[in-house]
Amino acid sequence: MELQTNTNTSPSFFIQCCHQTKNSVSRHRELVFSIAGGLFLLVAYVLERWDLASGSIVLLMYILSYAVGGYYKTKEGITDLVSDRSLNVEILMILAAIGAASIGYWGEGAILIFIFSMSGALETYTWQKSERDLSRLVELAPNEATVLDDDDTFHVISIEDVEVGDRVLIRPGERIPVDGIVLTGETTVDESTITGESLPVAKTDGGEVFNGTMNGKGSMTVKVTKRNSDSLFQKMIQLVQQAKSERPPTQQWIEKVEGPYVIVVLSFVALMVIVPYFFLGWNFQDTFYRAMVLLVVASPCAVVASVMPALLSAISTGARNGILMKGGVFLEQLSKADAIAFDKTGTITTGNPEVTDYNVADSVDEMEFFAAVTAIERQANHPLATALVEFCEKQVDGLLPEVSSIQDITGYGVAASLDNSETEGEDHAVDWTIGSVGFMERDRDRLADWWVEKQKKWQAEGKTVVYVARNGEVVGSFAIKDQIRETAKETLAELHKLGIKTIMITGDHEATAASIAREAGVDDWISESLPEQKVQEVEKLKEKYASVIMVGDGVNDAPALAKADIGIAMGSGTDVAIDTADLVLMKSELDKIRLSLRLSQRMNRIIKQNLVFSVSVILLLIAANFAQTLTLPLGVIGHEGSTILVILNGLRLLKA
């Protein structure tokens, strides 16, 4: 028997697994420490409750619960105090826990630490998901370029060493490494990373190309017009980085309120120590006891729990319904939006062009016509060709003619010869050409008036016109259009009822943008916008409206998604758009925006309920403490009981 070795058990495999486990633990270390602190608390409680160990062992378990569970929050509080000289809620938590322990209530202090550290760990984990790096976007930018010397010899150099004026050779299928002007060659370029449009653009002498776009089947020589750092693609990366670094308004408000809140509480605690002892004749033990009760009941655990469980429950409900939310703060802001900007292709439309209209001349048999178009376009890889094949093959009933020769005319269309021996009754070839308006006008003075009239009508409707000629005579034409998503009109109508302004921002020309906007029911539209301009348009909208949402699916949408108050990406979109956005519609269903808005409204109502309740309980407990009717155990019970209630209230959001 031959002994076989499983390669997955090699040392390198185990090392890789160890590294992955180590990285995972490192990313979630704060959560691990919080859970570990909770376990020490549980052990201490069990040992103390059933008298299973000596008091020193129980005390050791409580100390470990303090040290492990409160490590990160203590470190955060001390770091801010030392480096920024600012007080925060972490400092208050530390003092409250220490105060509880100083008068013998270790368990109550450990519970405070556990709840506060757990909420902080979950909040950190949520924010980590919303702050993914831009590695996938950066990977799209080429690192090297093939530069031609004066004697036409070439050598590969780093993209950073390419200078303005250099000549760069770009081979078929390569990603273009520079911004420049085409000197020689004919090809098509997929510019979806820049414009978001799926249709390749023809490039000939004098055409402009951009870094990060994908070359088609032809080769070309390009003269560099911008250094890499100034290229359009690199600016997109910079815009995303800049926009993602901006803190949301809610986070700024929390940071602004946090310091004053801690100062107020500490000031009241200090007054509780000084005033009764020096002015009311209390003994120091009673005075210190009341001050510690105040420090415990004023701890903001219930206030913090008012938000996080509700946010996490809403996030979980959204995930079950195909809505990925990268942070609760974005869901909180969602219902505040009064304007939503949409990209067109792949967002309002499906991103898959389809044939909407056609004309066939009386001089040709329709069956022959559709069979010829199907046979020719089956051999092409262009999105328009795919649309033509999907449409025409449904009209064909029988065998397709044999394509004896075919030529791809870059940027225009195709020319082919078909063997029509079966349909014509004799053995001879028929020449067919399929392509754009420019393709047909190139070989003739003008098209017949009735073809042109139909062409203008279709173009006014935002459709792309493709002509078909047989033996030099135009015999048919197609109108191809990217279709509106089935749920787009209903979703937009619902948004209008909610009083939300809808705007479409697209790189399309004005006629197409206007047509799609009217058909979909968008309030307004902005056409011919490159990525930089999309960001500027979003900035203008933010100046006009209180909160702006941007919905898109392409790399070119990433800067605008990041710049908006909330970015929503379609799940069928690019990885970069998904990584950059704050919310992702996993099934690319626009109607999920309505569900997101309703979920946000519910969540905000529950958070307000929780905040009012938790603050009211804290004020009530503080008043009871001043009246000297509240003991420390009752203070902890009231404080932690309010925390449990607001958590349970937040968990109601688990039900859609």
405-427 pLDDT, tens digit each: 888 876 578 899 988 654 444 45
* CATH architecture for segment(s) 140-242: Distorted Sandwich (2.70)
Average per-residue pLDDT in the chain?
A: 79
Task: Count CA atoms closer than 13 A to 646's CA, side-chain side.
Answer: 32
Question: Sorting pLDDT into bands at 50, 70 and 90, what band is 136?
Answer: low
Residue 556 is classified by DSSP as: G
Is 80 buried (19+), middle (13-18) or exposed (0-12) by CB count in 10 A? middle
Residue 343 among the catalytic residues:
yes
pLDDT at 250: 46
- Greatest alpha-carbon span in the chain: 121
pLDDT at 21: 44
Question: Sorting pLDDT into bands at 50, 70 and 90, what band is 1?
Answer: very low
Is CATH 3.40.1110.10 the classification given to domain 351-483?
A: yes
Sheet holding 413-419, edge to edge: 349-360, 473-484, 464-470, 429-435, 413-419, 402-409
DSSP string, 348-387: IEEEEEEEEEEEE-TTS-HHHHHHHHHHHHTT---HHHHH
Residues 6+ apart with CB under 8 A from 524: 501, 502, 503, 504, 517
User: Exactly one of 179, 190, 343, 482 is catalytic; which is it?
Assistant: 343
**Token representation of residue 480:** 């191809």
Q: Please name the helix (run of DSSP H) or strand (run of DSSP E) that holds residue 463, with its range, or none.
A: none
Rounded to 10 deg, the angle between the 632-651 and 284-297 helix axes is 0
pLDDT at 170: 93
**Token representation of residue 161:** 């060493």
Share of the chain above pLDDT 70, in %: 80
N-to-C CA span, the chain = 59
Query: Which of the residue ranges 6-10, 282-286, 560-564 would you say has the lowest mean pLDDT?
Result: 6-10
pLDDT at 509: 57
Q: Please give the CATH number for the structural domain made up of 324-338+486-588.
A: 3.40.50.1000
Q: Is the dihedral of CA 538, 542, 543, 545 positive or negative?
A: positive
Q: What are phi and psi of 339, to 5 degrees?
A: -150, 135
Cα angle for residues 36, 42, 48 (degrees, 5° grid): 140
pLDDT tens readout for residues 15-59:
344 444 444 455 578 889 989 999 999 999 999 989 888 889 999
pTM of the model: 0.55
DSSP string, 45-68: HHHHHTT-S-HHHHHHHHHHHHHH
10: pLDDT strictly greater than 80: no
Question: Sorting pLDDT into bands at 50, 70 and 90, what band is 78?
Answer: confident
162: pLDDT strictly greater than 80: yes
Question: For residues 61 and 285, which has the higher predicted lDDT (pLDDT)?
Answer: 61
Q: How many Å apart are CA 199 and CA 527, to the nearest integer? A: 17
